[in-house]
Amino acid sequence: MPVIKLKHVTKDYGHGRGIFDISFKVEEGEVFGFLGPNGAGKTTTIRHLMGFTKAQDGELYINGKNCWQQAANIKRDVGYLPGELAFPKSMTGNHFIKFMAEERQITNMTRTEKLKKLFELDTSEEIKEMSLGTKRKLAIVTAFMHNPKILILDEPTSGLDPVMQERFIQFVLNEKAEGKTILLSSHIFSEVDATCDRIAIIKEGVVVSTIDSSQLKQNSNKAFKIEFASPEDYQKFMENTKFIIPIERPEQNQVKLNLTDEKMKQLFTELTKVKVNFISEIKFTLEDYFMDFYDRKKTVADAEENLQYGLH
């Protein structure tokens, strides 16, 4: 049984706003990326998972428990990091951590102290005086302090500086190594790419693709850009090549083409007959795949074909 499961979840706020027929599941020990820009529906989906909002249609489960009917029980099992932070302003960081420890019946604060040290968090300050980055670190510590087996993280590194963002990514990888199940919602490609086993892309409230990250990282199809030394070399190559050239730039003496590893030898055989200024491989990335879905001229089929051939 998957740890997290959504089945055809819809919440229609009207005027095209909301989430529509959302379905995905997160297996035990998996880091699942939920990728989309602000306003795409990531936070709305997570609020349904946490039992803050009731779906109009569909069902949501965490550990087999209905997210709306058993929300209180689920919250005890989950480490939740919200995208929008709201703290009691009258408290210091120390008071808030003490309050959360009492709520979760934590008596051994060793893990909490380790987390504070890891993220260089000063909890003596009043929360209302804290910077956004410090508030984010406080939220991280309180989300992880009870060592939950399930983590739901909504834009977890928003407001963190680059050093802390990298530290958080490494921390998530360590949690993953310990078998934690993690749903990570983000619009930052680098953190999704670095941590996630599978990724769902959401656009305008609809999941338009779910992909194994290994498909991107282990793609054997490659794209190359070649610039020839002269218009004559460019023309000679174009007249004699056996490859299909999807992109031609005669004014720059350049071509872009796509091929599998098996065709590499043939390409370099053809290039020995002309002079080139350079040949460079174009990496096909998660960002490339994502942006295909946000190019209104392209369809889902186009994006999936581009993954197959390494095009962008």
pLDDT along the chain (312 residues), means of 10: 96 94 96 93 96 96 96 90 88 95 93 97 94 95 95 94 95 96 93 94 93 76 88 95 88 88 88 94 78 59 46 36
Whether residues 57 and 143 fall in one domain? yes
Has residue 234 been placed in a domain?
yes
Has residue 115 been placed in a domain?
yes
Q: Show the CA angle centred on residue 250, arms to residues 244 and 251, nearest 5°.
A: 155
Whether residues 148 and 40 fall in one domain? yes
Whether residues 145 and 226 fall in one domain? no
Element (H, E) at 79: strand 78-81
Q: Which amino acid would we find at residue 242?
A: K
Whether residues 125 and 239 fall in one domain? no
Whether residues 137 and 9 fall in one domain? yes
What integer pLDDT is reported at residue 132 of this predicted model?
93
Whether residues 237 and 126 fall in one domain? no
Has residue 309 been placed in a domain?
no
- Tokens coding 273: 């007959």
Q: Name residues whose C-beta falls within 8 Å of residue 182's C-beta, 6 or more positions apart in sequence.
A: 26, 30, 31, 32, 150, 151, 152, 153, 172, 175, 176, 195
What integer pLDDT is reported at residue 308 of this predicted model?
46
What integer pLDDT is reported at residue 76 of this predicted model?
84
* CATH number for the domain harbouring residue 253: 3.30.70.920
Quickly list H helices, the chain.
Answer: 42-49, 71-77, 93-103, 110-118, 132-144, 162-177, 189-195, 213-217, 231-240, 264-271, 286-293, 300-309
Whether residues 96 and 229 fall in one domain? no
Has residue 300 been placed in a domain?
no
Number of domains in the chain: 2
Q: What is the pLDDT of residues 287-307, one digit of tens each?
A: 877 877 776 444 444 445 454
Whether residues 116 and 145 fall in one domain? yes
Whether residues 118 and 204 fall in one domain? yes
Residue 258 near residue 309, CB atoms below 8 Å: yes
Whether residues 204 and 228 fall in one domain? no
- Among the candidates 158, 179, 213, a domain finishes at 213
What integer pLDDT is reported at residue 221 of this predicted model?
66
What integer pLDDT is reported at residue 309 of this predicted model?
39
Q: 156, exposed or middle or buried, with CB in 10 Å at 0-12, 13-18, 19+?
A: buried
Domain that holds residue 243: 220-282
Phi, then psi, of 83 in degrees rounded to 5:
-75, -40
Four-residue CA torsion sign, 25, 26, 31, 34: positive
Q: What is the pLDDT of residues 149-192, one digit of tens each?
A: 999 999 999 999 999 999 999 999 999 999 999 999 998 888 99
Q: Which DSSP state fits 126? A: B
Has residue 69 been placed in a domain?
yes
What integer pLDDT is reported at residue 298 of this predicted model?
47
Has residue 255 been placed in a domain?
yes
Has residue 124 been placed in a domain?
yes
d(CA 267, CA 241): 8
Whether residues 98 and 155 fall in one domain? yes
* CATH number for the domain harbouring residue 85: 3.40.50.300
What integer pLDDT is reported at residue 224 of this predicted model?
87
Whether residues 40 and 138 fall in one domain? yes
What integer pLDDT is reported at residue 220 of this predicted model?
59
